[in-house]
Amino acid sequence: MRKIVIAFAVMAFTAACCKKGPEGEAKIIEKPDIQVQNGQFTPEVMWALGRMGQTAVSPDGKQIAYTLTYTDMEENKNNAEIYVMPTAGGEVTRLTTTAKSESDITWYDDNTLLFCRGTELISMNVSSKSETVVATFENGIEGYKISPNGKQIIYVATLPVKRPESLDPLYKGLDKTTGRINEDLMYRHWDNWVDEYPQIFLADFDGKVDVEHATAIITDGPYECPMRPWGGVEQFNFSPDGTQIAYTCRKKTGKEYALSTNSDIYLYTIADGKTINISEGIMGYDQNPVFSNDGTRIAWESMERDGYESDKLRLMVYDLKTGNRTNYTEDFDYSVGNIVWSEGDKEILAVVPYRGMNEIFAFNTETKSIRQISHGYHDVNSFLLNGDKIYASQVSMSYPATIYTYNVNDSIKEGTKLSTFNDEILSQVKMGKVEEHWIKTHDGKDMLTWLIYPYDYDSTKTYPALLFCEGGPQSMVSQFWSTRWNFQVMSGAGYFIIAPNRRGCPGFGQEWCEEISGDYGGLCMQDYMTATDWFANNKKQIDKERIGACGASFGGFSIYWLAGHNESCRFKVFLAHNGMFNFEQQSLETEELWFTNWDLGGPYWANTPQTKKSYANSPHLFVDKWNTPICVVHSEFDFRIVASQGMAAYNAAKLRGLDARYLYFPDETHWVLKPQNSLLWHRNFIDWFDKYLKG
């Protein structure tokens, strides 16, 4: 492998080495061998790190398999391979070396691993690494689960959305037309045109999948399972005896789908195909059902209110014998996710967004008592449970996804690090220190704000600072790690980062979370200004004359709004990524209309007190007060906040005579995911702020 040297200011970079296969075959992307100079964490170093994906623990609890992705920046491609290691720690074995990515790993038994590669489902003997193709799906599959007895499989495949027959004559003889005729809503979602929808199918499995005789589980309409855009295999499960399937579905289409979050949990009996709705009457999101180990109960995540996608996720349990439903978080002011029954079913474990971190909590099903298991400056993104051992995919602002272990009976523990695949690179990096600050808001409440220091901090110097504006809007500024917004990259560029958990962030009680709805220009914006001023006045190493602000999505809106309320020149430069600029347009352009209905109060013509207040805070109404350089970033395939919003903001800035820059990606979504596009995004980010805060 080549050795790549990353100098302090060198931008040229190749993120991975590639081995050429036989002539005509694609390259195999390998782990890079790099040397970081001066300890600076740059975007190039970030992209050199391995990105851990899925994990799976063998039934006997002795091995853990995981996928690890590396990037070839020259080829503009990523590739995931499968690795396995002992759960007690030790030598790592690479199981695959291919030019195609492997995904969806599942243990069939203690020595057999199932996974997807392209359109194939493959079985591997882990000891010999020999492979057998057990199924080929013409259009691929999006995930699967094997029944407890190993004899059946549920898999996710897509079906085409059928055009109304009344329109067929219009297309006669026009096989090359690209025109789309729509007569209903939700014709596009997140980043795709809705030309197909996911469905779950049940098939026999005896070493091969009987695809030809698979049974569609949902037959009463073209309904999604899993639900777009985020749902995966967590949205369906076999019962322990393999006789029933619980699944998540929002049985709505078109306008009804666009206006409602009312999904339900359905129980399907395999023998007769009968289906019942066990969450009927609960009007919000119900999702991710999990059977108890004894098969007598089903737990799931449940929201109470229709149309409110950020309502509290309650821990709901259904008794299959009595039909009774129990809410185990009635007196708990936080949401739950990634729910898992403990051995013996006395507790349900879940990930909880809690005061700036994502932690594992346990909920006692007998006493309803609640205890915290994990604790520290980290986020548990997800976890697996095997006996009394917990295997967590864990991150922080200072390290990417890594495997940590806990015990079920732990109480407020830091966890034990298991995987080491990024240690060699990270050991060369000087990460910026991360501090937790609780500051008073202008109305006297306590707000958690993270302060991240410049990477090579010297207390005798002063540094520029960036205010980070969170998206969501109901998203917590947690100990997250991302290749999109990475605080250590900003730190590596020589900046302090001020990251407030302003009004609207979950993890601080439902009241705090809900204070943003209908008040986009109110308390949450005051929180941003309060946090900025507090650090400017109390941290002498922050140069208050060199403070900028950045954010995406709701954070992008925040930038546009702050630009129109920057009379004191608190901020010297702005950067807005995929933000809302014109609320009237946003209310009609976005696809999930329940979002603007809830947070803005409805369409602008509703003329209610709430809508009048909401739309009066649209950033485009304050352009006449813009007085600060601004960089606008937007992407064509963002259907949540469409590209015209960014274009309008940029045009407005130029017409105002401001120094402005527009970075546009014709092939990206709400996020920038392609490697070279991401590198351009980061280089532009640093260059833009350096121009005004370091010049």
| Residue 16 pLDDT > 60 | no
Q: What angle do CA 46, 50, 54 make, to 5 degrees?
A: 130
Return the closest-CA partner of residue 601 out of 514, 521, 519, 525.
519
Per-residue pLDDT tens for 421-450? 999 999 999 999 999 999 999 999 999 999
**Class for the domain spanning 330-428:** mainly beta
Domain 430-633+678-693 grouped into CATH 3.40.50.300: no
| DSSP character string of 14-60 | ---EEE--STTSPPEEE--EEEESTT---HHHHHHS-EEEEEEE-TT
b (16+ CB within 10 A) / e for 82-102: bbbbebeeeeeeebbebeebb
Residue 514 vs residues 24, 326, 408, 459: alpha-carbon distances, Å: 56, 24, 33, 39
The pLDDT value given to residue 17: 39
DSSP element (H, E) containing 327: strand 325-327
- Report the catalytic residues: 553, 638, 670
> Is residue 359 within 8 Å of residue 374, measured between CB atoms?
yes
> For residue 20, what pLDDT is reported?
41
Check if the beta carbon of residue 222 is closer than 8 Å to that of residue 239: no
Cis peptide before 226 (omega within 30 of 0): yes
What is the reported pLDDT for 25? 58
Residue 209 DSSP one-character state? B
How many angstroms separate the CA atoms of 160 and 158, rounded? 7
pLDDT of residue 149: 96
What are the tens digits of pLDDT across the range 88-121?
Answer: 999 999 999 999 999 999 999 999 999 999 999 9
Q: What is the pLDDT of residue 27?
A: 84
What pLDDT score was predicted for residue 11? 32
**Equal fold, 137-167+187-327 vs 330-428:** yes
What's the CA gap between 217 and 618, in Å, rounded?
A: 45
| 3-state per-residue secondary structure call for 66-84 | EEEEEEECCCCEEEEEEEE
Q: Taking Cα atoms as reference points, which of 624, 603, 625 lies closest to residue 612?
A: 603
Distance between CA atoms of 25 and 97, rounded to whole angstroms? 13
- Of 15, 51, 21, 47, nearest to 33 by C-alpha is 15
The domain limits of the chain are 137-167+187-327, 330-428, 430-633+678-693
Q: Is the peptide bond before 619 cis (omega within 30 degrees of 0)?
A: no
- Given a cut of 80, whether residue 631 has pLDDT beyond it is yes
Q: How confident is the model at residue 6 (pLDDT cuts 50, 70, 90)?
A: very low
Question: Mean pLDDT across the chain, nearest whole number?
Answer: 95
Question: Considering only CA atoms, which of 14, 29, 21 is closest in space to residue 69?
Answer: 29
Which residues sit opposite 237 in a β-bridge?
246
Give yes or no for residue 49 having a pLDDT over 90.
Answer: yes
- Is residue 395 scored above 80 in pLDDT? yes
Q: Report the run of H or E that residue 574 belongs to, with start and end.
A: strand 573-577
For residue 152, what pLDDT is reported?
A: 98
pLDDT tens, residue by residue, 190-221 = 999 999 999 999 999 999 999 999 999 999 99
Residue 14: is its pLDDT beyond 50? no
Q: Taking a C-beta distance cutoff of 8 angstroms, is the pair 500, 527 a contact?
A: yes
Task: Give the tens place of pLDDT for each residue, 608-619.
Answer: 999 999 999 999
- Maximum Cα interatomic distance, the chain, rounded to a whole number of Å: 76
**Residue 581, helix vs strand vs coil:** coil
Q: Classify the C-alpha dihedral 374-380-385-389 as positive or negative.
A: negative
Q: What is the residue whose two structure tokens read 């790549």?
A: 4
Stretch (H or E) spanning 512: helix 510-514
- C-alpha pair distances (Å), 183 with each of 164, 186, 223, 585: 9, 10, 18, 20
Provide the pLDDT confidence category of residue 295 given band limits of 50, 70 and 90.
Answer: very high
SS3 of 433-456: the string is CEEEEEEECCCCCEEEEEEECCCC
- Split at pLDDT 50, 70, 90, the class of 34 is confident
Residue 542's H or E segment, with its range, is: strand 542-552
Q: Please tell me the distance from the alpha carbon of residue 453 to that of residue 457, in angstroms, as a whole number.
A: 7
3-state secondary structure of 651: helix
Position 33 pLDDT exceeds 90: no
Task: Identify the pLDDT of residue 32.
Answer: 87
CATH of domain 137-167+187-327: 2.120.10.30
Sheet holding 275-277, edge to edge: 236-238, 244-249, 264-269, 275-277
